[in-house]
Homo-oligomer: A and B are copies of this chain.
Amino acid sequence: MRVRVLIRPKEGILDPQGQAVERALPALGYEGVSNVHVGRLVELDVPDGDGDVEARVEEMCERLLANPLIESYEVQSIDD
């Protein structure tokens, strides 16, 4: 199964990458864009079969893909 993980900086933590994008946009003629956040995208093929795939991926997130202290994550299964 193909799975997508969206990883975002946690609410309230300074996100200078998001800020930099937000600052750069007006100069390119895009006014009014706000609340920009930059995170990470991980996509992977996980063998289904043994049990709950999403639960396994959440475990991977807790342990490796995200750092729960600073990041929140969301697991989506995608059908190509």
Q: What are 28 pairs between A and B in contact, CB < 8 Å?
A: A2-B35, A6-B41, A7-B41, A8-B41, A8-B43, A18-B42, A21-B42, A21-B44, A24-B64, A28-B60, A28-B64, A30-B46, A30-B56, A32-B46, A33-B45, A33-B46, A33-B47, A34-B44, A35-B43, A35-B44, A35-B45, A36-B43, A37-B43, A38-B40, A38-B41, A39-B40, A39-B43, A40-B41
Which residues of A pack against B, CB within 8 Å?
2, 4, 6-8, 18, 21-22, 24-25, 28, 30-47, 56, 60, 63-65
| Nearest-Cβ distance from residue A56 to partner chain B, whole angstroms | 7
Query: Inside 8 A of A22's CB, which chain B residues have their CB?
Result: 44
